[in-house]
Amino acid sequence: MNKQDIKDTARAMVADDKGLLAMDESNPTCNKRFAALGIPQTIEARRAYREMIITTPGLGRFISGVILYDETIRQSMKDGTPFIKAITDAGIIPGIKVDTGARDLAGHPGEKITEGLDGLRGRLREYFQMGARFAKWRAVITIGDGIPSQACIEANAHALSRYAALCQEAGLVPIVEPEVLMEGDHTLEQCCKITEEALRMVFNQLYIQDVTLEGMILKPNMVLPGLVCLKQESVDDIADATVNCFLRAVPAAVPGIAFLSGGQSCELASARLNAMNIRFKSRLPWPLAFSFSRAIQQPAMEIWHGEEPHVKAAQQSLYHRAMCNNAARRGEYNSETERTSA
């Protein structure tokens, strides 16, 4: 492992106010989103959709890296060019999701543990040889009646840290993603408490496993009230709660925090990221960036709808969302940005 290389890659992933585009939906998740829109759930439809994304003209102005799925990293464009070559040629760093999904945590109803450590060393070696330079592993934590348990928080943090150590050994930057889910009626304060607890456990486990913090990216949830909580705080209050939580729990050596969108609307995800940067950017140890899937892709998927004639309009939408989030990183996003066409 060349430690300097992974540190350089991690910094490049959050440089120039750019962010990451997560296009690593597993086949079942991608199929579910296609099904909801009446798009055929075939390998060719998934390939065509991903080709639409990565051939978006100028995407590299706002997107530093894309996260792929195992099926996608092996696919090619219609003209035969491997996706990974097209991505690299566009000046974008290719990454790969390497967990194999969240399963029920034994003895803990309603809780999940993310799997995928078995055989991971070999898979990481292969992905590196294919051209990937970073990886992603997502842990999910649910807030509910009596949960999350210590068992869930600790088991997921342990798995994340063992994954991260294996990534760095293979020369890949680990994106460490502990996601506290938005589903539920919990309050902002509860989300803040659980997020802080999960982050403290994650960084403790990363320390125990000797993970180089300078060579990783943290991909957390924003601190939010549950989706069906009656009290929904303002954008500014959410920005304050999120950043204050991270200031307590995330070491300054981490090169960047790239938020997931988690089911927020595109506009809210941009507005909240924007507010954090307006209110805190000049006094934070790490840049606050984005690693959105739904909050960048969803409108484009709806426009594309599985139909070739819609590719250009879908790409314009994708470009627009990427541009809005680039503006949010600078604290310059507003309703005018939303109205700017691609």
Catalytic annotation, residues: 177, 219
Q: How far is the CB of 258 from ligand 13P (least distance, A)?
A: 10
Give, as one character, the DSSP assignment of residue 16.
G
Q: Which of 12, 13, 21, 22 binds ligand 13P (CB under 6 A)?
A: 22
Task: Choose among 298, 278, 296: nearest CA to 288.
Answer: 278
Nearest residue (CB) to ligand 13P, 22 versus 48: 22
Using rule CB under 6 A, residue 139 touches ligand 13P: no
Evaluate whether 335 touches 329 at the Cβ level (below 8 Å).
no
Q: Virtual CA dihedral for 203, 69, 317, 57, nearest 10 degrees?
A: 110
Q: Which of 18, 50, 123, 138 binds ligand 13P (CB under 6 A)?
A: 138
Pairing of strands 63-68, 19-22: parallel
CB atoms within 10 A of CB 51: 19
Q: Which of 260, 271, 288, 328 binds ligand 13P (CB under 6 A)?
A: 260
Radius of gyration of the chain, Cα coordinates, nearest whole angstrom: 19
User: What residues between 86 and 105 interact with ligand 13P by CB under 6 A?
Assistant: none
Q: Which of 54, 135, 295, 300 binds ligand 13P (CB under 6 A)?
A: 295
Using rule CB under 6 A, residue 294 touches ligand 13P: yes
Give, as one character, the DSSP assignment of residue 281.
G
Q: How far is the CB of 97 from ligand 13P (least distance, A)?
A: 7
Using rule CB under 6 A, residue 75 touches ligand 13P: no
Q: How far is the CB of 260 from ligand 13P (least distance, A)?
A: 4
Query: Which residues contact residue 312 at a Cβ distance below 8 angstroms, ignoring those fewer than 6 apart?
Result: none
Single-letter amino acid, residue 275: A
Only segment of 49-57, 149-157, 258-266, 299-307 that touches ligand 13P (CB under 6 A): 258-266
Strand runs (DSSP E) across 142-198, as ranges?
Answer: 173-180
User: What residues between 147 and 186 interact with ligand 13P by CB under 6 A?
Assistant: 177
Q: How far is the CB of 181 from ligand 13P (least distance, A)?
A: 10
Q: Which three-class secondary structure state does DSSP give residue 136?
A: strand
H or E stretch at 208: helix 188-208
How many whole angstroms separate alpha carbon 263 and alpha carbon 152?
A: 22
Binding mask 33-72 for ligand 13P (x = CB under 6 A): ----------------------------------------
Nearest residue (CB) to ligand 13P, 30 versus 188: 30
How many whole angstroms separate alpha carbon 223 and alpha carbon 191?
A: 6
Nearest residue (CB) to ligand 13P, 77 versus 117: 117
Evaluate whether 317 touches 342 at the Cβ level (below 8 Å).
yes
Q: Which of 75, 142, 168, 293 binds ligand 13P (CB under 6 A)?
A: 293
Binding residues (CB under 6 A) for ligand 13P: these are: 22, 138, 177, 260-262, 292-295
